[in-house]
């Protein structure tokens, strides 16, 4: 798939927001807590919990709406095909 000239220029000037390591760790901790709450079988299995966290994938995007934080974490669900 080819990208347009202006899309490449726009992508070159768009930077991912710099995150403080504490913010990234807090997000990781919160996501793991939610995974344990939704899937109780992960509670006593740290390997499976880490694998589930890695499978989700987490992207950082700048906040767009009024009242959003500077950085918004977006979770990508794994492809289950």
Strand partners, 74: 59
Has residue 80 got a pLDDT over 60?
A: no
Q: How confident is the model at residue 75, as a pLDDT?
A: 73
Q: What is the pLDDT of residues 35-54, one digit of tens each?
A: 899 889 999 999 999 888 88
Q: Is residue 27 scored above 70 in pLDDT? A: yes
- What residues contact residue 48 under an 8 Å CB cut-off, 6+ apart? 41, 42
Evaluate if residue 22 carries a pLDDT over 70: yes
């Amino acid at each position: 798939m080819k990208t347009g000239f202006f899309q490449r220029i726009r992508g070159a000037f768009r930077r991912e927001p710099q995150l403080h390591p504490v913010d990234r760790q807090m997000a990781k901790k919160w996501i793991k807590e939610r995974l344990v709450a939704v899937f109780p079988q992960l509670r006593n299995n740290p390997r499976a919990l880490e694998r589930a966290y890695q499978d989700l994938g987490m992207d950082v995007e700048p906040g767009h709406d009024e009242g959003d934080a500077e950085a918004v974490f977006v979770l990508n669900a794994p492809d289950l095909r």
